[in-house]
Amino acid sequence: MPKRMTVVVSVATVWTKPESPRLMDEPALKYPAEIREWLGFMTLGDKLDLCLGNRIQTQILYGSTVLVVEEGEGWSKVLIPQQGTRKDTLGYPGWVPSCQLAEEGEALLGSKRAEVISDKAWLYKNPTELVMELSYLTSLPVLEETEEWVKVQTPEGTGYLKADDIRLIDGPLAPKSAGVDVGRGIVEQGKRFLDLPYLWGGMSSYGYDCSGFAYAMHRYFGILIPRDASDQANQGTLVDKEQLEPGDLLFFAHEEGKGAIHHVGIYAGDNQMIHSPETIKCIEIVDLSTMKLAKEHCVSKRYWK
């Protein structure tokens, strides 16, 4: 029977196996994790090796629940229920340092949560003492509200978030927005992260990979899509090229669209796409007719209506 545990670092990186991290990855393995330091240490070659060496699978945000199915020598094999995948019906699999997990506490009565909608937000122990910097879309149960502060339940006690950094939602996902152009909203959320460097396996506002970026921009609107591009392409509603609307997902495959899917971007309107392209680049908007992947576009899907 899997054991329910909670992530107790700002961003837990999920590794392919316990042997996957390199010496330089130590900051990402600590409690608390030092994500900014880890990213700052790496050269371009080091970042490329995260992919080429098949080191990272995905990431999980502070306060998220995982299912632990195996433990040993300081590592836990986890499944991530909110990250759908064909790899396991219970959730996305991988390995996390056990020090970055804690046993899940008792569920609070009521379901109101504070979800970070700033690019980053500080969690405070009290209104003057910082604890850690949290990523966009980190979500924690609400205990009390004032005009300036929201008191939250954390995996390690209580804390405070500035009211300006969060929104209040009922349940683990934001409700689907009635009367809002969700497709364009997905694009507008994405534009907030223009120039953010790509990170293989990235699922936080410290760096996204292509499918992580699509996943997060949909999740902002309460839409849970699969974690990986290949799975995203197999679900959703098929959209013809002539019927594309902002917010639709565009998928690209090797062999000029006939091979395996390797990339996803978000249609931004006017024959443009916003995407997190590759390790050597940052989130950008490109013209679909001139981009190097143009001939590899194989299918488009819609999740937002």
Residue 63 is predicted with a pLDDT of 96
Residue 109 is predicted with a pLDDT of 59
Instruction: Count the residues in the chain.
Output: 305
Residue of 210, 218, 297, 298 marked active site: 210
218 assigned to active site: no
Residue of 99, 254, 275, 298 marked active site: 275
Residue 176 is predicted with a pLDDT of 73
Residue 110 is predicted with a pLDDT of 65
Residue 175 is predicted with a pLDDT of 78
All structural domains of the chain, each given as residue ranges with its CATH number in brackets, are 3-103 (2.30.30.40), 112-170 (2.30.30.40), 182-302 (3.90.1720.10)
Q: Looking up tokens 């209506």, which residue turns up?
A: 305
Residue 179 is predicted with a pLDDT of 66
275 assigned to active site: yes
Residue 180 is predicted with a pLDDT of 79
Residue of 99, 254, 263, 298 marked active site: 263
Residue 106 is predicted with a pLDDT of 75
Instruction: Provide block-wise average pLDDT over 10 residues at a time, the chain (305 residues).
Output: 96 98 98 97 97 98 97 97 97 98 79 95 95 98 96 96 97 77 97 98 98 98 97 98 97 95 98 97 96 94 95
Residue 108 is predicted with a pLDDT of 66
